[in-house]
């Protein structure tokens, strides 16, 4: 070893490199890796654990209870930091690593950075077969970790310590790339983790990264501007990419300068404040009548930072067949969807260039008046929909109570089931970037774990704000252990458990397609002789949380005020009706597979009814 090199194990080199990486966020230098989540086992404790111990202050390691939830927490952390910072998750070889597959898929679908450092079998194969190894008889190189190639943006297996010099910068570049952002996976064979190598000292020099901004092609901007300025009924779809680009100000200025109505996707739900005059509401399957009316009538749609998934497009029935799309997106893959006129580049720079090219244009006043009139009608509907006492306890009522009492910088987290739709439709945005509705992968179990990860990030940046989690009883039963994590780590959450006795939203879909209730609500499950309610209050309290039951909206308000004043995690449980109380307006057609042949008349009738709407579906033009 010379003065220009330092001898380290593979694991030590990985952690030392991460410790030296920084990022410039609005002029402030911060460590790009905020730390990690870890559960140790024989695949990562002896070598990676040893390396992490020596950097435990700079890279704090949060002890998770489940690898899947650790991945969810890492994804939520990255979402809070707008993909500018990330966390790693480390798991042991075998089932520990396998538990991260779902979380990796969630991060991949949502284009979120997360680094997975996972144990692997021995490279030498001398002790094979080892504990928890999956043997493939005709391919000994194939293992469990190869499964992650389908759900990651970057994948590598370290077979020699020197590979770290190439692999780590490549993984980091992927996670920080606006167009290619997503999870990175590095498989670490147990023997290779401990092998030593003389690394160049320069490899561990501190480095400050910046997120790349790509200026769109001038010809694409000019063509988009020509189309937009010809529009009689233009509309802007504001997606999550607006926030990732830091382009909220530019979006607002662009819309105001040209008087173009704005409709939001689920991921872009907090791009504009609720009371902004150009905010016409959320669009799509779980949207608003106002946004969907505007979408249906629009002749030119400018999509900014959206991947245009089916809940946004109503399975491509929410827009007129002859409407023209322009997609401004950092990712070429997203910019060209459905024959859009692509503008490939950064949202902030793209909006600035489009604004220059469209100087003097304003949408017709009658179009804007129509859009704003539709929004006023939707506001009146929401006000009535969230009103306590207007029907049995409902999601919408609980959302309304919390919305009225929370602070403007409080962060709301929700995921799969009925709550994403209800939050998207009924939540009135109080401040920019304060809503995290995970509907990219629509993953049950994200709620509490994601809330924990979001709170870790929030406590670094906005310690006086709260993270508020909306979850149903189904997701709670699936993954609740990070209530304990939040209490242990002193990262306070306010968790609302809205209990409707099972998977009520899927029961609703089942009924809406002509099927009888079957195996979704506990009372309709054929193998449950006698259903009973879970005591969620006692269960949450056993994990150290403050926990109370709210019988109605008034009780909920009192409990929420107490939770705001408390210094540790609070869980509030309220029963809601499984059949009544759903938000019935604001929906578009959504394509689901229904039986073309059935012995049940109700199923046959619904199939014909659903198929009759298919003629409104755009076919990629």
Q: pLDDT per residue over 18-50, tens digit each? A: 999 999 999 999 999 999 999 999 999 999 999
Stated pTM of the model = 0.97
- The confidence score (pLDDT) of residue 316 equals 93
- The confidence score (pLDDT) of residue 350 equals 98
Q: What residues contact 139, with CB distance under 8 A and at least 6 apart?
A: none
- The confidence score (pLDDT) of residue 408 equals 97
How far apart are alpha carbons 358 and 260 in whole angstroms? 12
Q: Is the pLDDT of residue 621 over 60?
A: no
Helix, strand or coil, per DSSP, at residue 117: strand
Q: Is the pLDDT of residue 277 over 90?
A: yes
Q: Is the pLDDT of residue 491 over 90?
A: yes
Please state the φ and ψ torsions of residue 395, each to the nearest 5 degrees: -55, -45
Angle separating helix axes 395-405 and 419-426, nearest 10 degrees: 50
Measured CA to CA in angstroms, residue 175 lies from 251, 256, 429 at distances of: 25, 33, 29
Q: What is the pLDDT of residues 511-567, one digit of tens each?
A: 999 999 999 999 999 999 999 999 999 999 999 999 999 999 999 999 999 999 999
- The confidence score (pLDDT) of residue 618 equals 85
- The confidence score (pLDDT) of residue 338 equals 84
Helix, strand or coil, per DSSP, at residue 185: strand
How far apart are alpha carbons 571 and 557 in whole angstroms? 13
Give which of 154, 173, 185, 254 is closest to 212, Cα–Cα: 173
The beta strand positions in 127-239, using DSSP E, are 154-157, 183-189, 196-200, 207-209, 234-238
How far apart are alpha carbons 504 and 596 in whole angstroms? 25
How far apart are alpha carbons 458 and 267 in whole angstroms? 18
- Number of C-alpha atoms within 13 angstroms, CB side, residue 15? 27
What domains are there in the chain, each with its CATH number?
5-209 (3.40.50.970), 218-378 (3.40.50.1220), 386-575 (3.40.50.970), 593-621 (no CATH)
The beta strand positions in 210-255, using DSSP E, are 234-238
Give which of 179, 113, 2, 80 is closest to 460, Cα–Cα: 80
Bridge partner list, 499 = 575
21-25 and 28-31 strand pairing: antiparallel
Mean pLDDT of the chain, nearest integer: 96
How far apart are alpha carbons 258 and 33 in whole angstroms? 40
- The confidence score (pLDDT) of residue 486 equals 98
Query: Residue 360, by phi and psi: left (phi above 0), alpha (psi -120 to 50) or beta?
Result: left
Contacts 24+ apart (CB under 8 A), 555-560: 556/398, 556/401, 556/402, 556/496, 557/401, 557/404, 557/405, 560/401, 560/402, 560/405, 560/406, 560/494
Q: Where does residue 359 rank: exposed (0-12), middle (13-18), buried (19+ CB within 10 A)?
A: exposed
Average pLDDT over residues 185-191: 97
Average pLDDT over residues 461-490: 97
Q: What is the pLDDT of residues 286-316, one digit of tens each?
A: 999 999 999 999 999 999 999 999 999 999 9
How far apart are alpha carbons 198 and 529 in whole angstroms? 65
Q: What is the pLDDT of residues 335-374, one digit of tens each?
A: 998 889 999 999 999 999 999 999 999 999 999 999 999 9
Report residue 394 as tokens.
Answer: 């409902």
- The confidence score (pLDDT) of residue 390 equals 85
- The confidence score (pLDDT) of residue 1 equals 63
Report residue 541 as tokens.
Answer: 């309290």
Average pLDDT over residues 564-585: 96
Q: Which residue has the tokens 């996707």?
A: 265
How far apart are alpha carbons 81 and 110 in whole angstroms? 14
């Amino acid at each position: 070893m010379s003065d220009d090199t330092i001898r380290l194990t593979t694991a030590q080199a990985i952690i030392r490199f991460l410790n030296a990486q920084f990022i410039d966020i609005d002029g402030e230098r911060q460590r790009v890796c905020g730390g990690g989540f870890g559960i140790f086992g024989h695949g990562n404790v002896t070598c990676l654990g040893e390396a992490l111990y020596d950097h435990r202050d700079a890279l704090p390691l949060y002890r998770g209870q489940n690898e899947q939830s650790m991945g969810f927490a890492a994804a939520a952390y990255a979402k809070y930091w707008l993909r500018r910072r990330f966390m790693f998750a480390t798991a042991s070889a075998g089932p520990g690593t396998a538990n991260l597959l779902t979380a990796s898929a969630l991060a991949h679908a949502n284009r979120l950075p997360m680094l997975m450092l996972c144990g692997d079998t021995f490279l030498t194969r001398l002790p094979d077969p080892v504990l928890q190894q999956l043997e493939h008889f005709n391919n000994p190189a194939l293992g469990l970790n190869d499964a992650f190639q389908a759900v990651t943006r970057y994948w590598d297996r370290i077979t020699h310590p020197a590979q770290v010099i190439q692999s780590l910068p490549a993984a980091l570049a992927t996670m920080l790339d606006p167009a290619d952002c997503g999870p990175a996976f590095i498989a670490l064979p147990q023997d290779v983790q401990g092998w030593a190598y003389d690394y160049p000292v320069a490899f561990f020099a501190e480095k400050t990264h910046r997120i790349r901004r790509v200026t769109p092609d001038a010809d694409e901007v000019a063509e988009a501007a020509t189309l937009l300025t010809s529009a009689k009924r233009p509309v802007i779809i504001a997606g999550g990419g607006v926030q990732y680009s830091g382009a909220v100000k530019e979006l607002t200025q662009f819309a105001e300068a040209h008087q173009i109505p704005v409709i939001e996707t689920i991921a872009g739900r907090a791009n504009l404040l609720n009371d902004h005059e150009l905010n016409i509401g959320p669009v799509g399957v779980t949207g608003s009548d106002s946004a969907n009316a505007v979408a249906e009538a629009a002749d030119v749609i400018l999509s900014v930072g959206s991947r245009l998934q089916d809940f946004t497009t109503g399975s491509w029935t929410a827009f007129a067949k002859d409407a023209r799309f322009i997609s401004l997106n950092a990712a070429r893959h997203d910019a060209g969807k459905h024959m859009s006129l692509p503008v490939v580049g950064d949202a902030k720079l793209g909006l600035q260039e489009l604004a220059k090219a469209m100087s003097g244009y304003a949408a017709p006043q009658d179009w804007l008046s129509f859009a704003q009139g539709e929004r006023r009608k939707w506001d009146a509907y929401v006000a009535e929909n969230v009103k306590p006492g207007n029907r049995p306890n409902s999601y919408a009522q609980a959302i309304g109570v919390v919305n009225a009492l929370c602070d403007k910088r409080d962060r709301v987290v929700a995921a799969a089931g009925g709550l994403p739709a209800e939050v998207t439709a009924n939540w009135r945005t109080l401040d920019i970037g304060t809503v995290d509705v995970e509907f990219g992968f629509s993953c049950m179990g994200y709620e509490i774990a994601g809330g924990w990860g979001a709170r870790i990030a929030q406590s670094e940046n906005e310690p006086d704000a709260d993270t508020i989690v909306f979850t149903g009883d189904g997701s709670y039963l699936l993954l609740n252990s990070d209530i304990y994590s939040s209490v242990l780590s002193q990262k306070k959450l306010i968790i609302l458990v809205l209990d409707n006795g099972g998977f009520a939203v899927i029961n609703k879909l089942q009924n809406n397609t002509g099927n009888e209730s079957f195996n979704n609500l506990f009372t309709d499950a054929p193998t449950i002789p006698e259903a009973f309610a879970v005591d969620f209050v006692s269960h949450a309290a056993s994990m150290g949380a403050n926990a109370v039951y709210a019988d109605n909206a008034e009780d909920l308000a009192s409990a929420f005020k107490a939770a705001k004043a408390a210094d540790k995690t609070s869980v509030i449980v309220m029963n809601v009706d499984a059949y009544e109380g759903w938000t019935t307006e604001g929906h578009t057609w959504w394509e689901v597979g229904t039986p073309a042949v059935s012995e049940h008349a109700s199923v046959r009738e619904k199939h014909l009814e659903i198929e009759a709407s298919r003629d409104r579906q755009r076919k990629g033009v």
